[in-house]
Structure 1
Amino acid sequence: MNMNQVQNEVLYIEDDEINLALMRHIFLKKLPSLKLIEATTARQGIEIAKERKLSLILLDIGLPDQDRFTALKEIKSWMVQEPTPIWAVSASVFESDIKNGLNAGFEKYITKPYDVQKIVKLIKNTVTVGTINTN
């Protein structure tokens, strides 16, 4: 695979089945040109991220198998050459939580429950068919 080739795959690392089902629905109905890949543990998500060239990673920061920002640090540690945008997804909605997430290195911080229109727009503005928008 050409490493500059974008696969238009988005990885969602989330342990809650309801949130996974909602994101599946969003991708099926609103983002059909993108492929949603799912992981239910941080470890599984990290392994998938290592194996694939992803357009975006959505990472729940409340996973039971890793503390808040460990998975982000691990992914970023080996993703130096071609970084993939990594967004926090969290039910923690306090301004301090959002600030801590952004300071930890997440490009965006998405709060639960999702504002479907907002998340679709954000993803479309970040990932377009065949390219990554770096603006």
Structure 2
Amino acid sequence: MKKILVIEDEPEMRRNLVTILRLEQYQPLGAENGRLGLELAAKEKPDLILCDVMMPELDGYGVLKALRENAATESIPFIFLSAKGEKIDQRNGMNLGADDYLTKPVARAELLEAIVARFRRQEQQARPEFKPNFSSHEPLLSLGLTPRAAETLLWVAQGKTNLDIATILGISESTVKKHLLEIFDKLNIETRSAATLRALEVLNSPLPKVNNNPAKS
């Protein structure tokens, strides 16, 4: 049974989320603020975390930052839940390394779809035949991206942060964010995780065979 941690300071919202998850045969855990959420995450090692953004003591951004800095929790799928639904808020959340960003009040179907998508991605990456080729960004040009944006997406797909990518490519973090905006707009997506999935689809495709001995005319 998959264990899902819900970090939400609003009692009724937290109860509703826990109830939905329990009815779907998940094992839900509840935390009323970010500090308690971090403690539970370290102790219980949940399979996924749903987290509000605006909370007392420690907000959702602080929770995600702490999780990603801890080797024991850095790879736990993380979904933001927030009443702030503007695109800039969503993209800020993605830039911090969240896997998804859902706007409250979130519909039950949308919530469950996001959760299933995260678990499906984990299962896909665990399959032996899933071997994306990260040696070049050129296959990503087929998505209609500029070379620099394709390079950025290549590293996003490998789980690198904006700071990591800026260091690797020798550019500023603000430039990385501009490339991310191009990626989101070009692919008509809103999240970093959706961009990663699109990239992995391309990078996991078998390379075309090259005929080294063409028939002479």
TM-score w.r.t. length of structure 1: 0.82
More strand by share: 1
Residue 54 of structure 1: aligned partner: 46
Residue 69 of structure 2: aligned partner: 77
Segments of 4+ in structure 1 off by > 3 A?
79-82
Unaligned runs of 5+ in 2: 126-217
Residue 16 of structure 1: aligned partner: 10
Of the three residues 106, 123, 134, the one matched with 1:133 is 123
Of the three residues 20, 27, 50, the one matched with 2:21 is 27
Alignment partners' CA distance in 1, 2:89 and 2:14: 22
TM-score w.r.t. length of structure 2: 0.53
- Counterpart of 2:39, as a letter, is E
Aligned-partner SS, 1:23: helix
Of the three residues 54, 58, 70, the one matched with 1:66 is 58
Alignment partners' CA distance in 1, 2:55 and 2:6: 12
Report the identity percentage.
27
Which structure would you say has the larger RCO, counting Cα contacts within 8 Å and 6 or more residues apart?
1
More helix by share: 2
Alignment partners' CA distance in 2, 1:64 and 1:80: 24
Alignment partners' CA distance in 1, 2:28 and 2:97: 22
Alignment partners' CA distance in 1, 2:91 and 2:112: 22
- The structure with the largest alpha-carbon Rg is 2
How do 1:66-105 and structure 2 match up within 5 A?
Answer: 66-79=58-71, 83-105=75-97
- Counterpart of 1:24, as a letter, is V
* Number of residues of Structure 1 aligned to a counterpart in Structure 2: 125
